[in-house]
Structure 1
């Protein structure tokens, strides 16, 4: 028994030491910088990756109203429904054990982050499950939201997991957006698209912002609070994020809960809105996930949730609960760890978690088709 006690104490000490190896910046302080050489990282190779990111700016307009309208011009009835903001140039950070080992551009500038917002929204669902507000992601959403949103033979089958994995095939209209008009098939026209029979929930992944916004609406009713308030109180304040980030919904996306009018936010910037945030605040969020849901020693998100969120869905091996996964599949980055996972948004916005190398990578406005090549260059430095 004595030997066992010593071994346990030693183990706990080792685990505590490991946790302290990560650096967590305090609020309103400059992020501590270390040389790549401090970690035996090839500085010249890392600089090549930074130069590559700086030289491969997203090709769309810096006026994001123009970029959005152009990017989704095929969609019938598409228009700007929420706030937008002109963007800056390429920017980013590479953290090793929490320390900045490379950065470029204006990392404090607040910009739209588009579908990176989905990974924040997923975390709101994780907190709801951790709190017991949702019994399990496999439970039916209609057991919680009974206002008609999940009525009918089709929508009544939808679980929280289906919404999180974007394979719900929810059918309907929300805030003026019709599910069938969001990213319609390449063939056909309006008369064809309107008549498409929805897929069975859980069978096919379909990237669809209307359905993501249904998740945001449902979580707002479960929490009985606006999502930005939940995010601020449960996550952003505790990780020392700045006061500059914002999470918007469409202009008319108001719902009443407990007699109070609340804005239901979006999970992206497809028609405007979503999270507007700096690269540094994105990096703080990434550090929380690198450290298995803990900021320093404070467990903000359960490890169980992170494991669920980064488990491949059946229809798409590269997608979990609104996190992209570097598993073998259509979006696999060859030569890089299959344990890498990341948040990704229109225009080349990424938060990339590489647990094996203890790194977080944030990029803003990197041409999206170049991110795999960029990460290969980063990996070469290790």
Structure 2
């Protein structure tokens, strides 16, 4: 792997890729744009393809929706590496003494950080997560804690943005600083990513919590940054983050995330899921994926030293962009 100080534009041929095949990708994008805002392809530490659409550019930020969880996964690993959190086996209830009386049942007391990272903590709903109900709560943390253990079984996969939000609260309570501040200091700044400024939530309307008004990194009523969604990044920021994982957690001769955490968080703990990363294997090639609703993706393919970022408009549809990787980008590797 490379000692990367920053991602710079490189000629495709210099990193073993066929530029003609990448031109086919550009042509395909022009015919299939839909809601795609940007595509960035990185190989061996170089940006070899970077396109923006709808009048957008490299400095524009995008609501990455559920991709926020992948940042959260990295931050928990860094906090463990730095000793703020003991391990993934630490009990959730350790961080919420005010909820001890609400967690008298054995199920809640058995839940660990690992259950949140693997989305195997049971919540009190089946099917679609009631996020709009969460939005209307005065105390999101206590509301989420009350839903834990009421239905389902510990160890069964149950996708939950609320679980990721608890991780943000745990991080803040462990470190004494907001998740945003911790991310700026230990992840965004070292990677040369755009630092996230503090911002005041004007309200908790749908537009402010889930819609077009999202900027920076939104917060809940208690001031905790959302752990499951609500972060905005540039496409290059996403590329930097993805390449950090492909490069085994190292950047500019510094180990930002330990190799142990990279391995642990990108291993399959449940079917096709690691620590808030989706896992995929095709023809023996392993890809770990950050996915946001509407088709925003970070595809990390370490075997090929490859990262593909697709930033899209927020849309209720779940659109997998894997065909772009499969049809145009992987075949471009010589």
> TM-score band (shorter)?
0.7 to 0.9
Paired position in structure 2 for 1:151: 103
Q: Does residue 1:24 correspond to 2:5, yes or no?
A: yes
C-alpha distance in structure 2 between counterparts of 1:54 and 1:365, whole Å: 14
Distance 1:43 1:249, change over 3 A: same
Q: CA deviation at 1:175?
A: 5.7
Under a length normalisation based on structure 2, what TM-score does the superposition of the two structures give? 0.79
Paired position in structure 1 for 2:255: 299
Q: Residues 222-247 of structure 1: CA distance to partner in whole angstroms, max 9, x if unpaired?
A: 12210000000011111111246722
Instruction: Report the 3-state secondary structure (helix = DSSP H, G, I; strand = E; otherwise coil) of the residue aligned with 1:132.
Output: coil
Paired position in structure 1 for 2:206: none
Q: Does residue 1:199 correspond to 2:152, yes or no?
A: yes
- How large is the RMSD of aligned CA atoms in angstroms? 2.8
C-alpha distance in structure 2 between counterparts of 1:117 and 1:41, whole Å: 30
Paired position in structure 2 for 1:210: 162
Aligned length: 292
Under a length normalisation based on structure 1, what TM-score does the superposition of the two structures give? 0.70
C-alpha distance in structure 2 between counterparts of 1:205 and 1:325, whole Å: 14
Paired position in structure 2 for 1:68: none
Contact 1:93 1:107 in 2 (8 A): no
Select the structure that is richer in helix: 2
C-alpha distance in structure 2 between counterparts of 1:90 and 1:336, whole Å: 30
Paired position in structure 1 for 2:27: 51
Paired position in structure 1 for 2:13: 37
In structure 1, stretches of 5+ residues that fail to align are 1-17, 26-30, 60-88, 183-193, 255-262, 328-333
Larger Rg: 1
Contact 2:68 2:227 in 1 (8 A): yes
Paired position in structure 1 for 2:190: 238
Name the stretch that deviates more: 346-355 or 33-42.
33-42
C-alpha distance in structure 1 between counterparts of 2:134 and 2:78, whole Å: 24
- Counterparts of residues 1-382 of structure 1 (less than 5 Å): 18-20=1-3, 23-25=4-6, 32-57=8-33, 89-105=36-52, 106-148=57-99, 151-153=103-105, 154-171=107-124, 176=136, 197-202=150-155, 204-243=156-195, 246-250=216-220, 252=221, 254=222, 263-269=223-229, 274-313=230-269, 316-327=270-281, 334-335=282-283, 337=285, 339-365=286-312, 368-377=318-327, 378-382=329-333
Distance 1:58 1:268, change over 3 A: farther
Name the stretch that deviates more: 227-236 or 289-298.
289-298
Q: CA deviation at 1:296?
A: 1.8
